[in-house]
Structure 1
């Protein structure tokens, strides 16, 4: 019995340690790096959803897609500044909205094609975002 408690305590401790690592990374990140983290999180959730979809694990697929949707809607979309970003921010907003609809369709119909399309769109934007950051760091 004490071995089980020890393992549970270790698991909680490891989880807390991981959260501190993530929180530290977020606290020290630039606004640009925070957006990269959002893209990474959404893409990771989509990859997890694909694995669960292929395994027929509907519950975990739904959780992973919900996480990706949350990041897109409450992270990437919410971070857009339409006033300062103008047409680019407006177009990105429309694209994020479309990605959200793809993710909903992927979840509702277990549609891997919609999941793949959402991943490709986010990956393309993330790649461009990373390049902008690399160019800014060199300048």
Structure 2
């Protein structure tokens, strides 16, 4: 597994703003989720598990980075969305449930 801090530093060097970095993170999450669906279809459980673990780690970092005081209602709503995603990722990884992954994508 890659070092998340090193990946963040590398990504942050190639973008100009925090918003651009956030967009790149979400694009990577979507890509990994789609790869996970394909891996389930192909019976490649190792690839599915590796990618869903990466997504789980990324969502946990996003959730932990929320500023609940400054973010107000938006931060609370994002926290709930991230919590839902984390719960569904764990279930999807344990059961190879493509539909749970599709719900996360939506």
Q: TM-score, normalised by structure 1?
A: 0.66
Matching residue of 2:3 = none
Matching residue of 1:40 = 27
Question: After superposition, what is the alpha-carbon deviation per residue over 1:46-67, rounded to whole angstroms, capped at 9, x for unaligned?
Answer: 0111111110111110001001
Q: 1:116 aligns with which of 86, 102, 105?
A: 102
Matches within 5 A, 1:123-134: none
Which structure has the bigger radius of gyration? 1
Residue 87 (structure 1) aligned with residue 85 (structure 2): no
Q: TM-score, normalised by structure 2?
A: 0.85
Residue 31 (structure 1) aligned with residue 18 (structure 2): yes
Instruction: Check whether the contact 1:41–1:71 (CA below 8 A) recurs between aligned residues.
Output: no
Matching residue of 1:49 = 36
How far does residue 79 in structure 1 lie from its aligned partner after superposition? Answer: 2.5
Q: Which runs of 5 or more residues in structure 2 are unaligned?
A: 1-5
How far does residue 38 in structure 1 lie from its aligned partner after superposition? Answer: 1.2
How far does residue 26 in structure 1 lie from its aligned partner after superposition? Answer: 1.7
How far does residue 87 in structure 1 lie from its aligned partner after superposition? Answer: 1.3
Considering fraction of residues, name the structure with more helix: 1
For 1:80 and 1:39, locate their aligned partners in 2 and report how far apart those are by CA, in whole Å.
Answer: 15
- Count of aligned pairs between the two proteins: 99
Structure 1 ranges of 4+ moved more than 6 A: none
